[in-house]
Amino acid sequence: MEKFVYYAPTEIVFGREAELQTAAQVKKYGGHKVFVVYGGQSAVKSGLIDRITANLKENGLEVLAEGGVVPNPLVSTARRMVQSALAFGADFILAVGGGSVIDTAKGVAHAVASPEHDIWDFWSGTKVTKSLPIGTVLTISAAGSETSNSAVLTNDTKEPPTKRGINTDFNRCRFAIMNPELTMTLPKYQIGAGAADIFMHTSERYFAAILGNHLTDEIAEGLFRTIVHYGPIGVREPDNYEAMSEIMWCGSVSHVGLTGLGSKGDTPRDGDWACHQLGMAISALYDSTHGATLTAVWAAWCRYVMDENVGRFARFARKVYGVTEEDDRKAAEAGIVKTNEYFISLGMPVSLAELLGHEPSDEEIEKIAVECTYDRTRTIGSFKSLAYDDIVAIYRNCRN
C-alpha cells in the first residue's frame, strides 16, 4: 500500500426527513445569506424547493433560490448564477439536486469568493485559493459529488463545446443532507444511469496501476456487489426504501476516496479514470447522459487494456460475481460479460450505436478522440496509458 493522505470532511445527515435539518446545518457552518442552486421544475413542482426555503427562512436565514441547471452542467448557467449570488451578497451556497447541481454550486462558490476571475478560469488552470462554504440536499444518487473533491462543467460558449473537471479540497461540501425518499420520484432511466455511474466510480479506482491494497480492495468489492444487487431493484421498484437507501449510500462512498486508498503513488489521481475521460468527451459533443456514456465504453476499454494485468480482471469477476472459472482470461471475460448484463438490467447502453441512436462514422469517432485528448495534447489512464490512436481504437471497438 502506497502512502496517502485521506481527507473526507463532509458531514452526512442521512435518513427520512433529513432535509428538515438543512437550516441547522447551514447555521452550523456560518451561513446567513443562502444562495440555493437547483435544476429543473421538478424540484419546484414536488414542493421540495419551497420546503427547503421555508426551513431556512423560519430559522432566520435570508434566501435566494435560482434554478436552470441541466445535466452536463453549463458554464453559461453558472456564470448567470454567479452574478445573482454576488448581487444578493451570498455567504453560503446550497445545492438542491444531483451531481450537475452540486458541481454548478461548487463553481459558483469559487467564483463568488474570487469575483476578479471568470468561473471558467478555474477549469482552465487557475488555482482555487478560496471559496464560499457549500452544502447539499441530495436528490439523485449517482455522481457522488456530495462527498468528492471534484467538479465538472461544460463550456458551452466554445465551439465545439468542451467538458472539463477540476479537483480541489475547496470542492468539498461542508454537509450533505441525504433522504433516500427524495430519489423515489426520479425517472427509471435516471436511477439506472446513477447506479451505473456509482459502479464506474468504483471501477476507476479498482483497476489501478498500483495494487496490493487488500482492505481497500475488499471495500471496493463489497460496494460492487451491493450496487450490482440493489441497482436493478431500484430501477424496477423506485419506492423500495431499502434499495434506494443502499444506492444512495453507495453513491457517496464510491466517490469519497475510500475505494482508491493506497493506489495513488506518484500519479495525480487515485486510479485510472480513462473511462470517465472517454465518456466525458462523448457527452461534451453529444450531450449524452454521463452514466450511459460510461457503460457504452467500459467493455471495450476492459478488453483493450486487460493484458496489462489479466489477473486483476479475473479477481474482479470472482469476487464480485462469484465466477468459478480457474483460467484467468476466461474468468476475466466472464466478468466483463456479467457487467454488461448488469448495465443492460439498468436500461443502459453497451455500445456507441445504442447510446447515440446511430452507428458513429470514423470521422465522428476521430472528433470524439480529439476532444478526449485535448486536441492530441495528452494521454489518459494509468492502468494502461492511452494515446490518441488507442482511444480511437477503443471507440471503434464499442461502435456497435
94 and 233 share a domain?
Answer: no
pLDDT of residue 301: 98
For residue 5, is it within any domain?
no
- 3-state SS, residue 297: helix
- The answer to whether 306 and 195 are in contact (CB under 8 A) is no
237-240: long-range contacts (C-beta < 8 A, 24 or more apart)? Answer: 238/183, 238/184, 238/185, 238/186, 238/188, 238/191, 239/184
Pick the last residue of a domain from 154, 182, 210.
182
Which three cell numbers mark 311?
489477473
178 and 191 share a domain?
Answer: no
236 and 383 share a domain?
Answer: yes
pLDDT of residue 156: 96
pLDDT of residue 154: 96
Strand partners, 92: 34
146 and 222 share a domain?
Answer: no
Which three cell numbers mark 20?
428538515
174 and 201 share a domain?
Answer: no
208 and 103 share a domain?
Answer: no
For residue 138, is it within any domain?
yes
199 and 261 share a domain?
Answer: yes
pLDDT of residue 266: 53
265 and 202 share a domain?
Answer: yes
Pick the last residue of a domain from 182, 201, 218.
182
For residue 148, is it within any domain?
yes
For residue 4, is it within any domain?
no
For residue 2, is it within any domain?
no
pLDDT of residue 161: 93
CATH (domain of 346): 1.20.1090.10
191 and 170 share a domain?
Answer: no
The residue ranges of the chain whose pLDDT is under 70 are 264-269
Which three cell numbers mark 297?
465504453
- Bin 273: left if φ > 0, else alpha if -120 < ψ < 50, else beta: left
- The answer to whether 177 and 135 are in contact (CB under 8 A) is yes
Q: What are phi and psi of 175, to 5 degrees?
A: -150, 160
CATH (domain of 150): 3.40.50.1970
For residue 224, is it within any domain?
yes
Q: 46 is in which domain, residue-wise? A: 11-182
Tell me the per-residue pLDDT of 4-60, one tens digit each, with 9 for 90 and over: 888 899 999 999 999 999 999 999 999 999 999 999 878 898 999 999 999 999 999
Number of domains in the chain: 2
231 and 158 share a domain?
Answer: no
**Cα(293)–Cα(396) distance, integer angstroms:** 14
For residue 6, is it within any domain?
no
For residue 3, is it within any domain?
no
Pick the last residue of a domain from 182, 204, 238.
182
Count of residues in the chain:
400
125 and 192 share a domain?
Answer: no
223 and 79 share a domain?
Answer: no
User: Among 104, 100, 107, which residue's Cα sits nearest to residue 140?
Assistant: 100
State the pTM of this model.
0.94
